[in-house]
Structure 1
Amino acid sequence: MQQSGPAITRRVVSVAEGRAASRRWWDHDADSYQEEHGAFLGDVDLVWCPEGLREAEAGLLGAVGGTRVLELGCGAAAGSRWLDGQGARVTALDLSAGMLRQARLAAERSGVRVPLVQADALALPFGAGVFDTVHSAFGAVPFVADSAALMREVFRVLRPGGAWVFAVTHPLRWVFLDDAGEGGLVAVHSYFDRRPYVEEDVAGVPTYIEAHRTVGDRIRDLTAAGFVLRDMVEPEWPPGHEETWGQWSPLRGRLIPGTAIFVAERPAT
Structure 2
Amino acid sequence: MGHGGVEDAGEDAEATRRDADDAESSRASRGWWDRNADEYQSEHGAFLGDDRFVWGPEGLDEADAALLGPADSLKDKDVLEIGAGAAQCSRWLAARGARPVALDLSHRQLQHALRIGGSDVPMVRLVEADAGRLPFRDGSFDLACSAYGAVPFVADPVNVMREVHRVLRPGGRWVFSVTHPIRWAFPDEPGPEGLSIAASYFDRTPYVEQDEQGRAVYVEHHRTLGDRVRDVVAGGFRLVDLVEPEWPAWNTQEWGGWSPLRGNLIPGTAIFVCERD
Task: Report the TM range for the smaller structure's normalisation.
Answer: over 0.9
Q: Is the 1:43–1:110 contact (alpha carbons within 8 Å) kept by the matching residues of 2?
A: no
Q: CA deviation at 1:93?
A: 0.3
Counterpart pick for 1:14 among 7, 13, 21 = 21
**1:169 correspondence with 2:179:** yes
Tell me the residue number matched to 1:123: 133
Tell me the residue number matched to 1:255: 265
Tell me the residue number matched to 2:118: 108
What SS does structure 2 have at the residue aligned with 1:188? coil
Tell me the residue number matched to 2:104: 94
Structure 1 unpaired stretches of 5+: none
Distance 1:30 1:109 in 2: 21
Tell me the residue number matched to 2:56: 49
Counterpart pick for 2:254 among 231, 244, 247 = 244
In structure 2, relative to structure 1, the CA distance for the partners of 1:112 and 1:252 (3 Å cut) is farther
Distance 2:187 2:34 in 1: 26
Q: CA deviation at 1:244?
A: 0.7
In structure 2, relative to structure 1, the CA distance for the partners of 1:219 and 1:93 (3 Å cut) is same
**Normalised by the size of structure 1, how large is the TM-score?**
0.95
Distance 2:120 2:253 in 1: 24
**1:265 correspondence with 2:272:** no
What SS does structure 1 have at the residue aligned with 2:16? strand
Q: CA deviation at 1:109?
A: 7.7
**1:181 correspondence with 2:181:** no
Identity %: 59
Identify which range, 230-239 or 103-112, moves more after superposition. Answer: 103-112
Q: How does 1:185-264 map to 2 (within 5 A)?
A: 185-264=195-274
Give the AA of the match of 2:52: D
What SS does structure 1 have at the residue aligned with 2:34? helix
What SS does structure 2 have at the residue aligned with 1:209? strand
Q: Is the 1:68–1:89 contact (alpha carbons within 8 Å) kept by the matching residues of 2?
A: yes
**Normalised by the size of structure 2, how large is the TM-score?**
0.93
Q: CA deviation at 1:240?
A: 2.6
What SS does structure 2 have at the residue aligned with 1:217? helix
Q: Is the 2:246–2:264 contact (alpha carbons within 8 Å) kept by the matching residues of 1?
A: yes
- Runs of 4 or more above 2 Å deviation: 109-113
Distance 1:117 1:211 in 2: 24
Tell me the residue number matched to 1:26: 33
Give the AA of the match of 2:89: G
In structure 2, relative to structure 1, the CA distance for the partners of 1:249 and 1:112 (3 Å cut) is farther
- C-alpha RMSD of the superposition: 1.2
Counterpart pick for 1:155 among 143, 151, 165 = 165
Distance 1:72 1:36 in 2: 21
Counterpart pick for 1:76 among 83, 86, 107 = 86
What SS does structure 2 have at the residue aligned with 1:148? helix
Q: Is the 2:16–2:208 contact (alpha carbons within 8 Å) kept by the matching residues of 1?
A: yes
Q: Is the 2:30–2:105 contact (alpha carbons within 8 Å) kept by the matching residues of 1?
A: yes
Q: CA deviation at 1:113?
A: 4.1
Distance 2:107 2:235 in 1: 29
In structure 2, relative to structure 1, the CA distance for the partners of 1:110 and 1:88 (3 Å cut) is closer
Distance 2:168 2:20 in 1: 28
What SS does structure 1 have at the residue aligned with 2:274? strand
Structure 2 unpaired stretches of 5+: 1-11
Distance 2:62 2:235 in 1: 25
Q: CA deviation at 1:114?
A: 1.1
Distance 1:43 1:110 in 2: 11
Tell me the residue number matched to 2:8: none
Listed one character per residue, the Cα deviations across residues 111-151 of structure 1 (whole Å, up to 9, x for unaligned) are 77411000000000001111110100011111111111111
Distance 2:160 2:183 in 1: 22
Q: Is the 2:114–2:121 contact (alpha carbons within 8 Å) kept by the matching residues of 1?
A: no
What SS does structure 1 have at the residue aligned with 2:79? strand
What SS does structure 1 have at the residue aligned with 2:23? helix
Q: CA deviation at 1:7?
A: 2.0
Give the AA of the match of 2:156: D
Q: Is the 1:46–1:82 contact (alpha carbons within 8 Å) kept by the matching residues of 2?
A: yes
Distance 1:87 1:113 in 2: 9
